[in-house]
Structure 1
Amino acid sequence: MTPADDFCYIDIGSIDNKNQKLSDEENIITANKAPSRARKIVAIGDILYSTVRPYLHNMCVVDRSFSHQPIASTGFAALTCHTGFYNEFLFYYLMSPDFDAYANDTDNAKGIAYPAINDNKLYRALIPVPPESEQKRIVEKIKEALPYVATYGVAYSETESLNNTFPDRLKKSILQEAVQGKLVPQDPADEPASILLERIRAEKEQLIKTGKIKPDKHKSVIFRRDNSHYEKLDGIECCIDDEIPFEIPGSWVWERWGSISQSIQYGYNAPAKDCGRIKMVRISDIQDNSVLWETVPYCDIKENEISTYLLQPNDILFARTGGTVGKSYLVQEVPEEAIYAGYLIRTRYSQWLCPQYLKFFMESELYWSQLRNGTIATAQPNCNGKTLGKMLLPIPPLSEQYRIVERVNALFDYCNSI
């Protein structure tokens, strides 16, 4: 019936479907503004059961009075129990898996996006009816058990969340131990990383002299003195103890990524094509630490520019913008000539470093914390080559780098099996 006076309107939004409770707030509507669906008069003790998407359990027992006549939406079935039938028993039965199976069966609930059971199908459902006194005893037992069910539900959800996140959290802990020098024992016979760095610097100077790479705009050398860390940058010494996040073994050293890299090069900007001179790897072509080479598009590029952007094994690609900013990829093979697109940065480094160790660093929290500090927070987050170049990373002796990689791989295999 159409409301003749002001009334309290109950629609689907009035129900808390997690607790099956009616909202305490009243939605008072004047008769002349009554929605076309406001048709079902209800009273205290009635059961409201949403017939639209019944699996959501938008239902409740009307358990309070209203300032005006309550009228429910036609999206509800309004159920009033006869004498001898306990409303709370019916309410809990409507919540049961048996009734759910009936209400949500495709023969009863019609529709794809919003399946609904009509009133005729609903009212024809068979319901087991014990004596009234037993109905009340059943309800009492249900209410007695519900707090334990809720407690179990919380514990189950927490356990499921832990099970789902535990492997990744364990991997992060393994990487943190790795970059702190706590994952494998140090070997006194290893050549110290300080000597390794001298070799890397000498190699870099030779490449600069022969014109194969460009000199650093800001040359950096990190060293220790009086139990503190100093950096000589552009000829000026400065204590950088406040940048050092943790202690590392004595055979290790701290270094800037820019100092160990031979180049940090932005990618090539060109439209993707179905055919062209050469393949061009984009951010979207890198999935789960591998390149989907079959779907990598082509692009056109001048012959004299190819060498600047040509990918080689052991190059590391770094996403500089978008939702994947900071994600890295270690190039392990290049099945055919390929360059890389403009939203990527390529870093190339000394042969005296273990590629996979550097990749593991770029998955560690030490890397991500520095990246977050250097990321420009906009609608499209981005960072640049300077952010990467300024990053501090701990360098172990070369042989230890390989031992770390071997150990991390073994532990990651175990994590994946959990």
Structure 2
Amino acid sequence: MTTGTTAVWGRAQQQDFRGRVRGSLLGGAIGDALGAGVSGLTLEAIRATHGAEGVADFVPVHGRRGAVTAVTQLTLFTVDGLIRAQVRRDTGAWHPPTDVHRAHLRWAATQSAWGPDERRKDNGWLAREEWLYTRRAPTRECLAGFGDSTMGTLAVPKNPAARDSAALTRSAPFGLLVGWEPQLVLQLAVECAAHTHGHATAQLAAGALAVMVHGLARGETLDGSVQRTLALLAERPGGEQVTDALRQALGSVRQGIPGPALIEALGDTDSAEEVLAVALYCALVGEDMRHGLRLAVNHSGPSAATGAVCGALLGALHGETALPPGWLAELEGRSTLLELSDDFAMEMTQGPALHSPTAAAPGWLARYPRD
């Protein structure tokens, strides 16, 4: 697998990229946390509890305000796997789907163990974060897909009929590989979706999100990123449902004042293409991140999933300075998210200064072992 030309990063470019990485990862987590307390509730139930405007702030869930779900947990380990893939490239081992899969197996261990296994030095630093050792509504598909060490592939995927959004919601980080060509970003996201999801719609929805984030992280407009995504999907068999959902989201922008009726017309199930369509629509019509995320969680569908995807898009589009500070201050795991975001940005912009086939910074290999 090739990744295209190697970028030469100026200081301003590095700062912009780091801001978009932080924005996407933290924005996705904020959207996840905002929707977590109302996910699965009908709009009527949300309004009955939170008023006519619906939920406007974090509500207590999992014992605290600002708590995230398995969506954010899995996204963190996606990033960890991508960094490990870059580091392991020095050894001659270059197969990012395998490294991402290994990272998600480390997530699976957090769902059954009491805490970090300090004897496993090859786990790296993220797997030693104690706050991750708790179940936050993981899907059956993810638990089953990562329940053993066998890696699902496009030829033999795990959960062949799975079409829900759990592969989609962990796939924004693939788009942050800005040195890669868009079609390779799409392919990697699709291959990694097959680790838990066999339905082409679930796989291509994950790929579509990755390509949209990729365009935004490169400084493109959201509409331009969607158009590029549609063009790439047109070349892939089985992409009709995702393409139709994206086009419906684009068309809904011109249909009136944004609100739950237009959102629920795009879908209110946890199917991957409907979650993607709702999130994209809210990102397109949101006046700012706060407005977009409130739209993304106030409906009868899976609010944590739609909030997370919308937040990842808006964060990549606007960068970290657009994140609502009040929500950011209360976000669970904020320091971990920041640390991992900055490590990812440093690896992608300054990787050769950190490691090579013949030398490496010891501290970096302690954080991201080659094993």
Higher relative CO (Cα under 8 Å, sequence separation at least 6) belongs to 2
Q: TM-score range by the shorter chain?
A: under 0.3
TM-score (norm 2): 0.23
Larger Rg: 1
Q: What is the TM-score when the length of structure 1 is the normalising length?
A: 0.21
